[in-house]
């Protein structure tokens, strides 16, 4: 058995390019008589154009030809190969040929991986790639800053968003000053005082409760179940299953969950 790839032309993409900018956003809120503003971010509606109208018809050949899928040029940029080829297709060919799914995947990858690597190398020369890389770096720094803020002040990381925007620019100096005063009072508490011991116990309890409730670790059985969830979602929102709908956002979120779940 071997894998055959046929290049198709004049096939427009149904995926959108990277947003050109990260924009600062905000919303006001009210809770128990207290009002405030939280700063968030959103991606701009203006996106990079994707001018390459190529696609690739992937099939397997033995005694007969087994059609797998048509993968667009930009699908090989945005998605893992396993997300582009339905598992049901592999299972069907396995039953018809008595060739294991692992061997079939090996045959496919030996041919498609070099193509995907060439396309990724081409994509990395584009303005869209540079913008995507910049956005990833900005958001990575933003998450790091929130983690540092949580550790320094001993409060929820979301409180960072009341003080700073996604670019780390100070937006609410008054609230930050309040937090600094509270932090200074906490540092000045005498560790041998009854008040401090009670405070330290409550802080340790809260930290333990929060770290336990926010744990992202899963056992093997749970990870196996999450893997099944991932495959169902990836199949449901794959572009081939939604020809009249842009599912880019859904697929990107599903891939984030895949990394978070470690499946």
Per-residue pLDDT tens digits for 213-227: 444 566 777 777 888
Say whether pLDDT at 207 is over 70: no
Query: DSSP letters of 87-102?
Result: HHHHHHHHHHH---HH
pLDDT score at 197: 52
224, 235, 236, 233: which is closest to 263 by C-alpha?
224
Say whether pLDDT at 212 is over 50: no
Cβ atoms within 10 A of the Cβ of 176, count? Answer: 18
pLDDT score at 201: 46
Per-residue pLDDT tens digits for 171-180: 999 999 999 9
Q: Which ranges in the chain belong to alpha helices (H)?
A: 75-78, 81-84, 87-97, 101-123, 127-153, 160-163, 173-188, 194-213, 220-236, 248-261
pTM of the model: 0.64
Phi (first) and psi of residue 17, to 5 degrees? -75, 175
102, 81, 75: which is closest to 90 by C-alpha?
102
Per-residue pLDDT tens digits for 139-183: 999 999 999 999 999 899 999 999 999 999 999 999 999 999 988
Per-residue pLDDT tens digits for 1-59: 999 999 999 998 888 899 999 999 999 999 888 889 999 999 999 999 999 999 999 99
How far apart are alpha carbons 142 and 164 in whole angstroms?
10
Could you tell me the two tokens for 235? 């199949």
Could you tell me the two tokens for 49? 């154009």
Say whether pLDDT at 252 is over 80: no
- How high does pLDDT run on average in the chain? 86
pLDDT score at 196: 54
């Amino acid at each position: 058995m071997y894998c055959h790839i046929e290049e198709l032309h004049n096939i427009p993409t149904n995926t959108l390019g990277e947003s050109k900018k990260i924009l600062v956003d905000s919303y006001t809120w009210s809770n128990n008589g207290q009002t405030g503003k939280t700063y968030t971010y959103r991606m701009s509606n203006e996106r990079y154009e994707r001018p390459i109208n190529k696609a690739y018809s992937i099939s397997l050949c033995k005694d007969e030809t087994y059609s797998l899928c048509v993968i667009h040029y930009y699908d090989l940029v945005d998605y893992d190969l396993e997300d582009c080829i339905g598992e049901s297709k592999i299972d069907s060919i396995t039953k018809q040929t008595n060739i294991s799914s692992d061997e079939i995947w090996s045959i496919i990858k030996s041919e498609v991986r070099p193509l995907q690597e060439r396309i990724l190398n081409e994509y990395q020369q584009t303005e869209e790639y540079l913008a995507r890389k910049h956005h990833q770096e900005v958001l990575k720094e933003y998450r790091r800053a929130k983690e540092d803020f949580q550790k320094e002040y001993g409060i929820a990381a979301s409180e960072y968003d009341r003080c700073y925007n996604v670019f780390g620019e100070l937006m609410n100096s008054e609230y930050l000053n309040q937090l600094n005063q509270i932090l200074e009072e906490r540092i000045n508490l005498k560790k041998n005082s009854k008040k401090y011991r009670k405070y330290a116990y409550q802080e340790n309890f809260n930290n333990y409760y929060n770290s336990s409730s926010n744990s992202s670790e899963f056992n093997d059985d749970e990870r196996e179940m999450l893997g099944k969830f991932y495959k169902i979602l990836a199949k449901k929102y794959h572009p081939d299953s939604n020809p009249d709908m842009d599912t880019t956002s859904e697929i990107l979120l599903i891939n984030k969950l895949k990394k978070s779940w470690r499946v």
